[in-house]
Amino acid sequence: MTVTKKLAKITKAHLEIQERHILNFWVFVDYEEGSSQGIGGICLDGFDDVKKKRVGTAYGCEMIRRLLLTLKVNDFSEMKGKMIWVYGEVGFLSFKPTGLSLLQVDDTKAEPLIFKEVFDEF
């Protein structure tokens, strides 16, 4: 697969707990060429075998923290309307997002947040 980046505008962003009580985030974008996509759905918590329930994790907290810092916002609602680069892998008729960053016009020191890099730290 080829790694590339695509210009996008954030239309909505939020945290959610799905029906199975799994914490995850979603950032919805419209791409420059006209398509739309949801980025995220990444599990931010874990199942504790002793407590027999899902619990927060350091990884999940760090991912949320880095999303806020990378996009220079105080909460997810402030992401709406931001222009970003979405990094991802291009496959046959698919684009799998792997990270994101602000445009350098908005932050000359913008560094991409690559989701796997955060996961690998934990």
Spatial separation of the C-alpha atoms in residues 44 and 66, rounded to whole Å: 13
The CATH class of the 2-121 domain is: mainly beta
pLDDT attached to residue 1: 64
Q: What's the gap between Cα 28 and its chain centre?
A: 9
Percent of the chain topping pLDDT 90: 83
Q: Across all residues in the chain, what is the average pLDDT? A: 93
pLDDT attached to residue 91: 83
CA dihedral 31, 11, 115, 48 (to 10 degrees): -140
Instruction: Give pTM, 2 decimals.
Output: 0.90
Q: What's the gap between Cα 25 and its chain centre?
A: 7
Tell me the per-residue pLDDT of 17-55, one tens digit each, with 9 for 90 and over.
977 899 999 999 999 999 999 999 999 999 999 999 999
DSSP secondary structure code for residue 74 in this structure: S
Domain layout of the chain by residue ranges: 2-121
